[in-house]
Structure 1
Amino acid sequence: MIAPVVIGVLVLALWEFAVRWNEVPSYVLPGPLLVAQTLVADWGTLSGSLWVTLKITFMALAAAVVVGVTLAVLFSQSKWLEMALLPYAVILQVTPVVAIAPLIIIWADDIDLSLLICAWIVAFFPILSNTILGLNSADHNLVNLFELYGASRWQTLRYLKLPAALPYFLAGLKISGGLALIGAVVAEFVAGTGGSASGLAYRILEAGYQLKIPRVFAALVMISLSGVAIFLATSLISHLLLRRWHESAIRREN
């Protein structure tokens, strides 16, 4: 922890020094101290918007987990189904959400639902692809052993394939957590909704129009810290679930 903290402090100190030495106006580039002061002063407004953004993020991540894992299990049980539907999941993933967000907003006719759909689209594919890879990575010798002892497809899935897929699923979860937050913010930018129930993206747009650049930086800091917190939370979940049996977690402990 010492090295990144020291580097971060040095960068912030140089940033503050450069802003003060060159007398850069705050509407061009505020210093870290002014950003921190703005974060404290505007906490009441920004924290409410942060909760709106995080609510969409967590709902999209939960939907991505449910749909992604369900489809991955179905695909592992039916190769025909995988070949028929997986290409459409790839198309959905590679289509820029910024391009289709206006259409989703029009079709959904509900801002919260449209934001949820946009964030879900971004977060869905990593969980699907990683879980499929994990289900297909089960040791074929063990699969043959299960078949030899007359295990049903459900028993093979429950006792062999799902445990084998767990590390891959958790890796996809860590990726999708950050992507869900990005998707929620991007969707809010496109929607441009205001009012008391608006997310942090709208607060950034609003502050930018009013040249309140310190508030823009304060909102960006909140988004970045939220993304770091989501990554740390998913990493902790992964560690707790894998530490007693999976090789990667055992090596870390030793």
Structure 2
Amino acid sequence: MHRHLLVIVLALCCPAVFAEEAPLRELPPEQEAAQLQSAEAMGAAIHLHDQAAAVATDAALKLKAFKKDKRIRGWITEPRQGRIIVTFIDQTPAALYRVEVSESGAAGPVIVLDSPTPLSEYEQGAVTARATAMTLEIQPCSSRYNSVVLPASATLDGNWVVYLLPATTRNGVVPLGGTYRMDISGSTVTAQRGFTRTCITLQNAPRTAGLMVTHLLDPVPTEAHVFWSLWARQPMYVATANGSLWAIENGKIKLLERDVSE
């Protein structure tokens, strides 16, 4: 009874979206804990790098030279001692501008490089990984996508994870649908996945108490759910196919109710 009452309350206060997929079994406790920890860590990292790119772009756009510079082909982000360095690159690829974003998320001065500068080992690896990911065909849910490239491990071993994030200019909309992950080794795609089957959008109205979605592709919430919850600055409630109900708030995943009827 407790679980049914909770679901009714959530249905009244939170916009819900549902998708169809075959039910999944629960994970063993240790595996479930590991997946939840990974989802929290990766979701937070995606958000950190995405926000750094956003504030760096806002800072750079204040420069007339940057706004008129037709050489710019995108950006790449690199973590350095708690900060994020956002580098805007040309087609070579070489660095044209750099912005340091602090741990608090504030953009420092825009560094205008005198001439195109070779990328660091990290930056070059990330650019190659993103270019490799862009060769794949996906089912887009937006005309524009942002990307976040993260190393797959603490050592630069040529393995990367690329996330493609649908962009939106619409207020009150969370474009969860069309989020993708690609695992890259060198210039080879070793794995890829979407986090939804349809172009799901969640409504984030001013009085929304939280977001709710039924997710049937995984037995637990994923890094995509953590990222979009942080991006929207809203709790997200995720009902998974095994009958469990989860809450994500401030980047942390909590089990609210587990279906033990089976």
- TM-score normalised to structure 2 length: 0.28
Structure 1 or 2: larger helix share? 1
Structure 1 or 2: larger strand share? 2
Higher alpha-carbon Rg:
1
- TM-score normalised to structure 1 length: 0.28
